[in-house]
Amino acid sequence: MTISQIIFLVVAGFTLASALMVVTTRNLIHAALFLVATLFGVAVVYAILQAGFLAVVQVVIYIGAIAILFIFAVMLTRRDMRDRGPQMNRMQWIGALLALLIFIGLSFLLSSWDGYSAVAQEMPADFDTMGRLGEALVSPDAYLLPFEVASVLLLAALVGAVYVAYTRR
């Protein structure tokens, strides 16, 4: 086992543990901080895969913008954040069983797939990935509409959080 595989396994374990804590913790602020840790783990995986641009985008956009926006929205909108009822649903065991069955099914499906063990081909040295990505983000034929819809949704969420938090004095 190489050092990069060991680092990947450690980071993957950290990311999975953080993701589990996001959905099981009782405090929203702690859940947001575990989300930041999970997103950072994904950025490290991108860096291990030598996708530096995606790692930087993961840190800047997801950790720097969306997670912090979520933390501010929680802090702005909370009036009384004390827990008053049970945190777990009575059907949690059915959900856990269903998740386990889906995991087993996906594992079986991926074990018989030829592309699972295939190695990606090297990119040519003169291949301009950044230029192609920039063109795809602003091209009406590619990702312009989803890119703009996501920005409008984030703006609407921020305006809604400020409106809900606003109290007349």
Has this prediction a pTM greater than 0.85? no
107, two tokens = 């594992």
Query: What pLDDT sits at residue 45?
Result: 92
CA 15 – CA 6 distance, rounded (Å): 14
d(C-alpha 121, C-alpha 9), whole Å: 23
Place of tokens 């450690």: 10
18 — pLDDT class (breaks 50, 70, 90)? very high
Residue 88 scores a pLDDT above 70: no
What is the pLDDT at residue 101? 96
Which one, of 74, 73, 81, 63, lies nearest residue 157 by Cα? 73
- pLDDT value of position 104: 95
Which pLDDT score, from 0 to 100, does residue 15 have? 96
Q: Which residue has the higher pLDDT, 113 or 168?
A: 113
